[in-house]
Amino acid sequence: MEWLYLVIALAVLAVLAVAGGIGLVVGRGRRARPVEPPRTTPGDVLAPPEAPDTTVAEPEAEREHAVVVPTLERPERPASRLVRLRQRLAGSGTLGRGLLGLLSRDKLDEDTWEAIEDLLLGADIGVQPTQELVERLRTRLRVEGDAGTDVRTVLREELINLVDPTMDRSLHVSGADGEPGVVLVVGVNGTGKTTTVGKLARILVAEDRSVLLAAADTFRAAAADQLGTWGERVGVEVVRGPEGGDPASVAFEAVKEGVDRGVDTVVVDTAGRLQNKQGLMDELGKVKRVIEKQAPVTEVLLVLDATTGQNGLIQAKVFSEVVDVTGIALTKLDGSAKGGIVVAVQRQLGVPVKLVGLGEGRDDLAPFDAAAFVDALLG
């Protein structure tokens, strides 16, 4: 009999224990959620603005996107970019180190000056600017060298002068009287136009501007898709037309839409076919004319691939003859030893470099600054 009571008591205990366990599990399931930090507030799936490499954060961000309400990316603020990207100029750093090494020799003989000239020419600075720089260095180091002036300081000052800190490098992205600013992006195929338009949209968004993109490269449907992807991530819409359609009408529609909606800036991507100058002139001329029925083009950005050197410059010159280029976006400076092209292109086209592309990452486009650039070169 006592056995029976014991068994019943044990059974009751066992039932209670199991029930309690379930209760705990359910309870934990219910209770745990509020204790966890909120899953996502807009932006917290993103790398912080000063994150060293946004591409590293991508897989994580995408995984988060799968489970939460879609959030827009918050692009890195432009001001910190050139500093973050300075190591990307490693290839060009050879120039800075080489120059410093040669100029620091005890005796600056003719052979040394010749080696210095070769270095500068090899970095695509161009003949005329090379001669000017060598002349300035010779004079200053002869005069100031005795007084114990630091070679590095002299070189830094002269390089900055060469890059020209007085040029206005601001991007004209605002229109007058409440009209949108219109940025027309032109250049040879493959130089990085579409990528630059996407990256530029991010810079504008980072500065809290409203943006609309125009996919006026109608020759490749992929170009419009490419822009669409860039835009989606930061909540920027893309106006596109039928494949093979008239680029000017896409540009017109986009700017009209921009005016109607009162957006801050419309950025227009174009095709870069360079069959002949006449064809190019007709097409780009028409795009610009048609846009200006709605609002003036405030900036014509010529995209130039730094790795193509002097050859790229010749092609770029054709564009500058066709449209009034107001700024240059120099792409693919990462890993190029041709940083001197900044000087050459400004001299030859008479237009400032305003943006530099330093990688394929989303925020690898930086506003250009003469002193920061030279500091990066000198390491």
Ligand X SMILES: Nc1nc2c(ncn2[C@@H]2O[C@H](COP(=O)(O)OP(=O)(O)O)[C@@H](O)[C@H]2O)c(=O)[nH]1
Residues marked as binding? 187-194, 269-273, 331-334
- Count of residues touching Mg ion (by CB under 5 A): 4
Give the x-and-dash track for 174-193 against Mg ion (CB under 5 A): -------------------x
Q: Does 84 bind ligand X (CB under 6 A)?
A: no
Residue nearest to Mg ion (CB): 194
Among 243, 282, 292, 360, binds ligand X (CB under 6 A): 360
Q: Does 331 bind Mg ion (CB under 5 A)?
A: no
Q: Does 357 bind ligand X (CB under 6 A)?
A: yes
Short-list 191, 185, 323, CA closest to 265: 185
Render the burial of 214-231: b for 16+ CB within 10 Å, e for the rest: bbbbbbeeebbebbbebb
Among 194, 270, 298, 320, binds Mg ion (CB under 5 A): 194
Work out how close the CB of 307 gets to ligand X at its nearest, in angstroms, rounded to a whole number: 9
CB count in 10 Å sphere of residue 92: 26
Work out how close the CB of 358 gets to ligand X at its nearest, in angstroms, rounded to a whole number: 6
Q: Quick check: helix, strand or coil at residue 270?
A: strand
For residues 10 and 314, which CB has a smaller minimum distance to ligand X in the complex? 314
Short-list 56, 73, 298, CA closest to 179: 298
Short-list 87, 116, 90, 86, CA closest to 101: 116
Render the burial of 23-45: b for 16+ CB within 10 Å, e for the rest: eeeeeeeeeeeeeeeeeeeeeeb
For residues 45 and 266, which CB has a smaller minimum distance to ligand X in the complex? 266
| CA distances (Å), origin 294, targets 57, 182, 210, 266, 289 | 40, 10, 18, 12, 9
Which residues make beta-bridge pairs with 145?
none
Partner touching 190 among Mg ion, ligand X, none, CB below 5 to 8 Å by kind:
ligand X
Q: Does 332 bind ligand X (CB under 6 A)?
A: yes
Partner touching 73 among Mg ion, ligand X, none, CB below 5 to 8 Å by kind:
none
CB count in 10 Å sphere of residue 360: 13
Give the x-and-dash track for 193-232 against ligand X (CB under 6 A): xxx-------------------------------------
Residue nearest to ligand X (CB): 357
Q: State which of positions 221-250 bind Mg ion (CB under 5 A).
A: 223
Work out how close the CB of 218 gets to Mg ion at its nearest, in angstroms, rounded to a whole number: 11
Q: Do 162 and 136 form a contact (C-beta atoms < 8 A)?
A: no
Work out how close the CB of 321 gets to Mg ion at its nearest, in angstroms, rounded to a whole number: 21
Q: Do 154 and 370 form a contact (C-beta atoms < 8 A)?
A: no
Among 272, 327, 339, 352, binds ligand X (CB under 6 A): 272
Please give the distance of CA 279 from its chain centroid, rounded to a whole number. 29
Indicate the annotated binding residues for GTP: 187-194, 269-273, 331-334
Q: Quick check: helix, strand or coil at residue 268?
A: strand
- Interacting residue ranges for Mg ion, rule: CB under 5 A: 193-194, 217, 223
Positions in the binding site for ligand X (CB under 6 A): 187, 189-195, 272, 331-332, 334, 357-360, 364
